[in-house]
Chain A
Amino acid sequence: MRAALPAEPVSARGRTLRKPVVRKRPMSRDRKVGLLLLMPLAVLILGLTVYPITQVIQLAFQQQGLFSREATFVGFQNFQAVFAHEGFERSLRNTFVFTFGSLSLQMLIGLSIALLLNREFPLRAPIRGVMLFSYLVPYVVAALTWKFMFSDATGILNWWIRALDLPIPASPFGSLDFAMFGVIMVNVWKNFPFMVIVFLAQLQTIDRQLYEAAAVDGATAWQRFRHITLPALIPIMLVVGMLRTIWNFNNFEVVYLLTQGGPIGRTETLPLFIYRFVFGEFSLGRGAALAVIVFFILLAMSLIYWRLYEKMQERFR
């Protein structure tokens, strides 16, 4: 390396290109090293993201079996088939119910618990840490334990519901009316700690003196929440709201493991519908077409959130 240093036509040329050269530091050929370091990432992003996306778009316009190499171009037929499918509208509706049902409960519970944990009390640190457990466990564990608690012969909640004669089905995941509520409940249980972490982090940036000043001026607890806490939280609420909307929308595991979309399609969301197209009906093309549609729905929703975010930023500045 050092032997190559004296003759350096490349770096000389590079120097004329970058005009405001401060003073050549001992590090030479910086940009080359930098590009070299970025190469693996660039290759991987191309190979693992850009190429698969072009593939999925291509698949959406082809008729293709799952395990065949032959493909024929069919134009928009896959999209037409998806839109015409009786399950499309239902799974679209289910997805919105699942996404926003989960989101509102996650927000509400996440915010309440964050406000609770933001107060000072003994054992705060360990309680905060343990509160995150449900977020850390694998989805399969979340699914198995809830399934187990509601199982017919062995479940504890199942038994309690029967023993106390509660007006809810003892096995909600198999019930037509309660299955959606059941999967939403598990999704909320699994993911609310994410909200708690983010809200807590934001709550801690609020200046305590604001509250003291407000209390001196005679503001009620509700007024302090409304005029100090809430404005500080709204921008971050929109950001995590967007993230969680996307994640709930994309969530496959909860529903797949608990109900597999059943009973009779009552909980089938779009990701499950895609999965069924591909691995149930062996139509890669239709699955890909639906995936592309889902992507555009998500994009549209992100743009709406983005606009809201900008509006809120202006209002609370």
Chain B
Amino acid sequence: MSAATIPARQITPSERARRSANKKRFEQVLVMLCALTVLMIVLLPLFWMLVSSFKPNTELFMRPPSILPVAPTLEHYVELWRFTSFPRYFLNTFAVAGIACFAGVLISLASVYAVTRFEFIAARAFTFGVLFIYMLPPILLALPFFRIWFNLGMLNSLPALAITYLTITLPFSLWILRPYIEAIPRALEEAAMIDGCTRFQAFRKVIVPQAWPGIIASFVFTFVVVWNELLYSLVLISDEPKRTVSLGIASLILETSVYSWGLVNAAGVLATVPVLFLFALAARHMVSGLGAGAVKG
């Protein structure tokens, strides 16, 4: 006991500092290893989808399963591109999501601008109204939408689907844009107008550039949400060539009894790429957007 305490007293202050720094460093590496382990568990399903999409059919049935493809191949991607309607589905989804998000951001921009600049009494009611839409069960809205589009003879129509998606994109982009526009000082646009800009010019040259990060964030975020959406397209679209990517994959895993897993995995990888690409592009803003719903609520 005493042998252990004596050397401890002889440590110089600088050495103690170094030891504690070493200890801290060791702790940090330990924490990093923990985080990496968790990360690997979380990513395993996606990793497995990715590697399996490059395995030829025979290798997919190999037992025990190979971890990395022994004979990597692009055959599933080629098959997907040439013999399925997936290129079409991708085009459909890009168009529908693009329109719904662009319209959503434009309308939100105008509305948020009006609400924050002109101080309507309705502003608070407006915020709660948006919150309310956000909370509605999608299945609750899917039924009347089915009915409404059926009555209008517009079931199975991609434009109808895009309009329906505004119920998703509008609340999100309103929420994300609002703090950005509120933060722009009024003096800035007033100065522009004193210098001879019309209100619209001031909007275009002052508000839009200032709120640009918010505009990008809400576009990217709503695009990802619509890209991932399944229920509305499942309810509203039944024609095979009009499917969205999600609906195409859903049909693959639901309707066929014997799966061509290579093909399904390749489709899954391609459906994931745009989402992760957009996320990487706007990561900083996305994170605040992802949390926006909760923090504002």
A131 to B31, CA, bound (A): 15
Q: Is B3 engaged at the interface, CB distance under 8 Å to the other chain?
A: no
Q: Which positions 116-149 of chain B face chain A at CB distance < 8 Å?
A: 117-118, 120, 129, 132-133, 135-141, 143-148
Contact of A159 among B42, B64, B118, B290 (CB under 8 A): B64
Q: List the B residue with the shortest CB-CB distance to A302.
A: B135
Q: Is A257 within 8 A of B254, CB to CB?
A: yes
B246 on the interface (CB 8 Å rule)?
A: yes
Stretch from A30-38, A174-182, A216-224, A226-234 that touches the partner: A30-38
Q: What CA separation (Å) do A136 and B133 show in the bound complex?
A: 22
Chain B, residues 190-215, CB within 8 Å of chain A (1/0): the string is 10011000110000000000000000
User: Which residue among A35, A40, A236 has the maximum number of chain B CB atoms within 10 Å of its CB?
Assistant: A40
Q: Residue of A at shortest CB range from B264? A: A144
Given A116-B34, A147-B253, the answer on whether A271 and B137 have CB atoms closer than 8 Å is yes
Whether B230 lies near A154 (C-beta < 8 A) is no
Measured between beta carbons, the chain B residues less than 8 angstroms from A67 are 150
State whether the Cβ of A103 lies closer than 8 Å to any Cβ in chain B: no
Contact A48 B164 (CB under 8 A): yes
- The interface residues of chain A lying within 8 Å CB-to-CB of B6 are none
Query: Does A298 contact B135, Cβ atoms closer than 8 Å?
Result: yes
In contact, B111 and A239 (Cβ under 8 angstroms): no
Q: Is B84 an interface residue (CB 8 A)?
A: no
Q: Considering residues A49, A130, A134, A159, which has the most beta carbons from chain B within 10 angstroms of its beta carbon?
A: A49
- How far apart are the CA atoms of A127 and B166 in the complex, in Å? 33
Interface-centre pick from A33, A138, A252, A298 (highest chain B CB count, 10 A): A138
Complex contact B107–A288 (CB within 8 A): no
Asked whether any CB of chain B lies closer than 8 Å to the CB of A278, the reply is: yes
Do B272 and A137 touch (CB < 8 A)? yes
The answer to whether B198 and A121 touch across the interface, beta carbons within 8 angstroms, is no
**Number of residues of chain A lying within 8 A (CB) of chain B:** 93
- Whether the pair B111, A146 counts as a contact (CB closer than 8 A) is no
Let me know if A151 and B259 touch, CB within 8 A: yes
- For chain B, residues 91 to 127, give those with C-beta under 8 angstroms from any C-beta of chain A: 107-108, 110-111, 113-115, 117-118, 120
Q: Which residues 44-69 in A have Cβ within 8 Å of B in the complex?
A: 44-45, 48-49, 51-53, 55-56, 59, 67, 69
Return the CB mask of A118-137 against B: 1 if under 8 Å, else 0. Answer: 01111110010111111111
Q: Is the CB of B49 within 8 A of A148?
A: yes
B265 at the interface (CB under 8 A from A): yes
Which residues from A are CB-within-8-Å of B52? 148, 154
A27 within 8 A of B: yes
A145 at the binding interface (Cβ < 8 Å): yes
- Verify A133–B46 contact, CB threshold 8 A: yes
Q: Is A41 an interface residue (CB 8 A)?
A: yes
The residue that B295 contacts in the complex, of A33, A69, A132, A201, with Cβ under 8 A, is A201
Are A130 and B43 also in contact (CB < 8 A) when A34-B114, A49-B136, A257-B254 are? Answer: yes
Chain A nearest Cβ from B114, distance in angstroms: 4
Contacts of A142 in B (CB 8 A): 45
The CA of A160 and the CA of B250, in the complex, are separated in Å by: 26
- Pick from A135, A144, A148, A298: contact of B290, CB under 8 Å: A135
Shortest B198–chain A CB gap in Å is 7
CB 8 Å contact bits of B251-291 with A (1 = contact, 0 = none): 01110000101001100100110011001000100010011
Which residue of the partner chain B has the closest CB to A2? B198
Q: How far is the CB of B120 from chain A (nearest CB, A)?
A: 7
**Is A100's beta carbon under 8 Å from chain B?**
no
Q: Does B275 contact A253, Cβ atoms closer than 8 Å?
A: no
- Name B268's contact: one of A145, A288, A292 (CB within 8 Å): A145
- Most chain A C-beta atoms within 10 Å of own C-beta, residue among B34, B147, B170: B147
Contact among B35, B115, B227 with A121 in the assembled complex (CB-CB below 8 Å) = B35
Q: Are A149 and B198 in contact (CB under 8 A)?
A: no
Any B CB within 8 A of the CB of A166 = no
**Which residues of B have CB within 8 Å of A156?**
48, 65
Interface presence of B36 (CB below 8 A):
yes
- Contact: A52 with B148, CB < 8 Å? yes
Answer whether residue B63 sits at the interface, using C-beta atoms and an 8 A cutoff: yes
Among A141, A246, A250, A260: residue with most chain B CB under 10 A: A141
Residues on the A chain within 8 Å of B29, using CB: 121-122
B145 to A52, Cβ gap below 8 A? yes
Q: Which residues of chain B come closer than 8 Å to A225, judged between CB atoms?
A: none
Q: Which residues of chain A are near B147, meaning CB under 8 Å? A: 55, 59, 284
Cβ of A117: which chain B residues have Cβ within 8 Å of it? 35
- Could you list 19 further interchain pairs (A-B, Cβ under 8 angstroms) beyond the known A41-B111, A298-B135? A33-B114, A37-B111, A41-B108, A48-B166, A49-B133, A51-B148, A116-B34, A133-B42, A133-B276, A134-B46, A138-B227, A138-B249, A141-B49, A145-B46, A148-B49, A153-B61, A271-B137, A274-B139, A284-B143
By a beta-carbon cutoff of 8 Å, the part of chain B in contact with chain A is: 28-29, 31-32, 34-36, 38-39, 42-43, 45-46, 48-49, 52, 60-61, 63-65, 107-108, 110-111, 113-115, 117-118, 120, 129, 132-133, 135-141, 143-148, 150-151, 163-164, 166-167, 170, 174, 190, 193-194, 198-199, 224, 227-228, 230-231, 235, 245-246, 249-250, 252-254, 259, 261, 264-265, 268, 271-272, 275-276, 279, 283, 287, 290-291, 293-295, 297
Q: Sample 18 A-B pairs with CB under 8 A, ordered by A number.
A: A37-B111, A37-B114, A48-B166, A52-B145, A53-B144, A59-B147, A127-B32, A130-B39, A133-B42, A136-B275, A137-B46, A139-B230, A141-B271, A163-B64, A236-B294, A246-B137, A274-B139, A278-B143
Closest 4 CB pairs of A and B: A34-B118, A52-B144, A55-B144, A37-B114
